[in-house]
Chain A
Amino acid sequence: MSSTGDHTLAVEGLTKRYGDTVALDGVDLTVEEGEFVAVVGPSGCGKSTLLRVLSGLEEHFEGRAAVDGVDVRDGGSDAVGMVFQEPRLLAWADVRENVAVGLPSGVDRGDAAARDRVDDLIETVGLDGFAGSRPSELSGGMAQRVSLARGLAYRPEVLLLDEPFSALDQLTKYEQQDNLLEVWAEQGTTIALVTHDVEEAAYLADRVVVLGGQPGTVETVVDVDAPRPRDRTDPELLAARDAITDALGL
Chain B
Amino acid sequence: MATTRETDRIGSDHDAESDSGVLPALSRFRWLLGLVVPAGLVVVWHVLVATGVFAPHQLPEPLRVVGTLYAMGVSGELWGHISITLQRVFFGVLLGVSVGVVFGTVTGLYGLANDLLDPLLQSLKNIPSLAWVPLFLLWFGIGESAKVLLIALGAFFPVYLNLSTGIANVGDELIEVAEVYDLGRIESLRRVVFPAAVPSLLVGIRGGVGLAWMFVVAAELIAASQGIGFLMSDGRVLARPDIIVGSILLFAFFGNLSDLAVKGVERRVVDW
- Chain A interfacial positions (CB closer than 8 Å to B): 55-57, 78, 80-82, 84, 86, 88, 90-93, 101-102, 104-105, 134-136, 150, 154
Q: Which of B176, B177, B182, B191 contacts A78 (CB 8 A)?
A: B182
Alpha-carbon distance A206/B18, docked complex (angstroms) = 53
A-B contact pairs, 24 of them (CB 8 A): A55-B180, A56-B180, A80-B180, A81-B180, A82-B180, A84-B173, A84-B180, A88-B174, A90-B192, A90-B196, A91-B272, A92-B195, A92-B198, A93-B191, A101-B177, A101-B178, A101-B183, A101-B191, A104-B182, A105-B182, A134-B272, A135-B272, A150-B181, A154-B181
A57 touches B272 (CB 8 A): no
User: Interface SS of chain B: helix, strand, loop or mixed?
Assistant: helix
**CB neighbors of A among B161-197 (8 A):** 173-174, 176-184, 187, 191-192, 195-196
Kindly list chain A residues whose C-beta atoms are within 8 Å of the C-beta of B180: 55-57, 80-82, 84
Residue of B nearest to A100 (CB): B191
A52 to chain B, nearest CB (A): 8
State the interface size on chain B (CB cutoff 8 A): 19
Give, as a whole number of angstroms, the nearest-CB distance from A147 to chain B.
9
Chain B residues lying within 8 Å of A91, measured Cβ to Cβ, are 272
- Residues of B with C-beta under 8 A to A135: 272
A55 to B177, CA, bound (A): 11
Please report the C-alpha to C-alpha distance between residue A106 and residue B75 in the assembled complex, in whole angstroms: 66
Q: Nearest B residue to A94 by beta-carbon distance? A: B272
Interface string of B184-218 (1 = CB under 8 A from A): 10010001100110100000000000000000000
Contacts of A86 in B (CB 8 A): 173
Question: What residue of chain B has the Cβ atom nearest to residue A55's Cβ?
Answer: B180
Name the residue on A nearest B188 (C-beta): A101
Minimum Cβ distance to chain A for residue B143 (Å): 43
- Distance of A90 Cα from B270 Cα, bound (Å): 13
Q: Residues of A contacting B176 with CB < 8 Å?
A: 57, 84, 88
The 8 A-B pairs at the shortest CB distance, nearest first, are namely A91-B272, A92-B272, A82-B180, A88-B173, A92-B195, A88-B177, A134-B272, A105-B182
Residues of B within 8 A of A150 (CB): 181
Contacting residues, chain A, for B195 (C-beta < 8 A):
90, 92-93
Q: Most chain-B Cβ atoms within 10 A of its Cβ — which of A80, A81, A91, A134?
A: A91
Q: Is the CB of A105 within 8 A of B184?
A: yes
Distance from A152 Cβ to chain B, minimum over Cβ atoms (Å) = 12
Q: Which residues of the other chain, A, contact B174 by a CB distance below 8 angstroms? A: 88, 90
In the complex, A88→B192 CA distance in Å?
11
